Amino acid sequence: MEILCRRVVQLPTSIMLSRGTRLIPFAAAAVVGVSYWKDCRFFQTYQRLNADEGGESWYSKLISSTSQQKDTLSDEHITQKLKRQEYSHTMKQVDSCVNWFETNHYNANNPIEDRHCECVFDIDNEYFFGIYDGHSGWHCSESLRLRLPVYTTLAMTSNETRQKFLSGELLPSDLVKYLGNPNDDCLSFKMPPTFKEKQEAIKSGTRYFSEKSNEVMENLTIEEALKYTYLSLDRDITRESIPDGLCNEAIWTGLSGAVAVSAYLKGRMLYVANTGDCRAVIGTKSTKGSWLPNVMSEDHNFDNIEEVKRLTRLHPGEKAVIFRGRLLGQLAPLRAFGDIPYKWSLELHRKVLDVLYGRPIVPESIYLTPPYLTAQPDITSRELNAKDGFLILATDGLWDTVSNEMAVKIVGDYLDDVENGKKPSENATTRLIKYALGGGSDYRLSEMMQIPDNQKRNFHDDITVTVVFFKNTTKSKL
């Protein structure tokens, strides 16, 4: 394939300077320094600093220096601000195992790099919920929001339905119905018409995926089909990113990256697919009436010893494959979509990325045996029982500061309130975001809410949460 770079415009500032989870050197050393703080686990670090001797903590001084307002915000004011992107939806399907779901997000990056989707696959009466945490830009996470549900339903549906899709009798909108509320702070994009020409030329996209699915899906389990879906979409993103003169704009999706966790509900069977460090946790009620967490995913990062072992096995003898707690010293998640700098060949690095960035984005001395990154998900499954009350899906912006146990307790208490006839002023996802920002302290929450927009990323990550409530737990909705 001929590779052309001339039509690719200069990298936007948001991509060149966005730290995301990739370390891209740039002049604003102060910002990078504070960003490292968050990557060392925001709460743990400032709690340690608070414990140091010597009066007012470094954390308190830093946050006070960036807060523009001095007065403590009222709970009503905070709730009103956090509820701007709050959304709840009750399912109308009688035979659905889902009663309702709630979503919310709070940005640190501007624009926000997280995305989420809540979908029903109408033809097969199945449900799909996805959380996508973007880094180094929002293009990849937005692409997952738009494409992963369609790929998934094409993988899971019948050959007959796929044939109708291939013939044009069914459109993507006939297969997937988005239930969530469009968020006005989430940017989107539309590829030029030449993008379809490019997909035809390189055999990518939903049409080619559907054709291949007719050949392979019959012999795959649901778990295997989900893995095939994730890997197929990432393969398409990676190949579409190569500039060829047809649609060079597609490179923005590959230059950014995203981790993803999704929940696929078929009857009462729940399948969770996870790539990266988002997380899925079920809240289950114990015989004593307390809420207990059942973790449905494992984080793919440096804290996961098995992930580190996997990479060292794949790249034996390469000491730089993991250093500073990151892939090649740069990327925090050890599995992700996009992120072509860790997947492309050295030849493509030299012909494309070195031209774009004006230098090697990854030193050639350590880029020895690519690809270093995969989007292959881990799959877990569970047949929902009467004690399973809800499922929490969230980006690491929540899990960095909220334990599994605390998250389940917060949502469980909320659900108990609903079942007892109370009408909370905010939904469960807003409560979780409040705790993620404030740690249970009204004063700290007020301080965090007053940080200027251009400083927020120094103190917390984008936070996106979806909570799915199962039908067996409550007889009435709000």
Q: Is the model's pLDDT at 12 over the cut of 50?
A: no
pLDDT at 224: 97
Inside any domain, residue 65? no
Average pLDDT value for residue range 2-15: 39
Q: Which two tokens stand for residue 281?
A: 């946790």
Q: What is the pLDDT of residues 340-376, one digit of tens each?
A: 999 999 999 999 999 999 999 999 999 999 999 999 9
Average pLDDT value for residue range 452-458: 91
Q: What is the pLDDT of residues 425-434, one digit of tens each?
A: 899 999 999 9
Q: Is residue 171 located within the same domain as residue 320?
A: no
Average pLDDT value for residue range 451-466: 94
Inside any domain, residue 388? yes
pLDDT at 35: 35
pLDDT averaged over every residue in the chain: 86
pLDDT at 32: 25
Q: Is residue 250 located within the same domain as residue 312?
A: no
- Return the closest-CA partner of residue 473 out of 385, 362, 398, 361: 385
The number of beta carbons lying within 10 Å of the beta carbon of residue 207 is 15
Q: How confident is the model at residue 65 (pLDDT cuts 50, 70, 90)?
A: low
Q: Is the model's pLDDT at 404 over the cut of 90?
A: yes
Q: What is the pLDDT of residues 212-240, one digit of tens each?
A: 999 999 889 999 999 999 999 999 999 99
Q: For the domain that residue 225 is a member of, what is the CATH number?
A: 3.60.40.10
Inside any domain, residue 31? no
Inside any domain, residue 235? yes
End-to-end, the C-alpha distance of the chain in Å comes to 56
Percent of the chain past pLDDT 70, that is, above it, reads 84
Residue 463 has phi, psi (to 5 degrees) of: -125, 120
Q: What is the pLDDT of residues 132-168, one digit of tens each?
A: 999 999 999 999 999 999 999 999 999 999 999 999 9
Q: Is residue 320 located within the same domain as residue 417?
A: no
Q: Is the model's pLDDT at 22 over the cut of 90?
A: no
Q: Is residue 355 located within the same domain as residue 209?
A: no
pLDDT at 291: 98
Inside any domain, residue 348? yes
Q: What is the pLDDT of residues 273-286, one digit of tens each?
A: 999 999 999 999 99
Among residues 352, 372, 392, the one where a domain terminates is 372
Q: What is the pLDDT of residues 297-328, one digit of tens each?
A: 999 999 999 999 999 999 999 999 999 999 99
pTM summary value: 0.87
Q: Is residue 157 located within the same domain as residue 284?
A: yes
Q: What is the pLDDT of residues 93-140, one digit of tens each?
A: 777 899 999 999 999 999 999 999 999 998 888 999 999 999 999 999
d(CA 410, CA 429): 9
307 lies in which domain range? 301-334+337-372
Q: Is the model's pLDDT at 18 over the cut of 60?
A: no
Percent of the chain past pLDDT 90, that is, above it, reads 75
Higher pLDDT, 28 or 45: 45
The count of structural domains within the chain is: 2
Average pLDDT value for residue range 64-77: 70
Q: Is residue 272 located within the same domain as residue 358?
A: no
* Secondary structure, 3-state, the chain: CCCCCCCCCCCCHHHHHCCCCECCCCCCHHHHHHHHHHHCCHHHHHHHHHHCCCCCCHHHHHHHHHCCCCCCCCHHHHHHHHHHHCEEEECCCCCCCEEEEEEEEECCCCCCCEEEEEEEECCCCEEEEEEEEEECCCHHHHHHHHHHHHHHHHHHCCHHHHHHHHHCCCCHHHHCEECCCCCCCCCCCCCCCHHHHHHHHHCCCHHHHHHHHHHHHHHCCHHHHHHHHHHHHHHHHHHHCCCCCCCHHHHHHHHCEEEEEEEEEECCEEEEEEECCCEEEEEEECCCCCEEEEECCCCCCCCCHHHHHHHHHHCCCCHHHEECCEECCCECCCCCEECHHHCCCHHHHHHHHHHHHCCCCCCCCCCCCCCCCCCCCEEEEEECCCCEEEEEEECHHHHCCCCHHHHHHHHHHHHHHHHCCCCCCCCHHHHHHHHHHHCCCHHHHHHHHCCCHHHHHHCCCCEEEEEEEEHHHCCCCC
Q: Is residue 81 located within the same domain as residue 225?
A: yes
pLDDT at 122: 84
d(CA 426, CA 409): 16
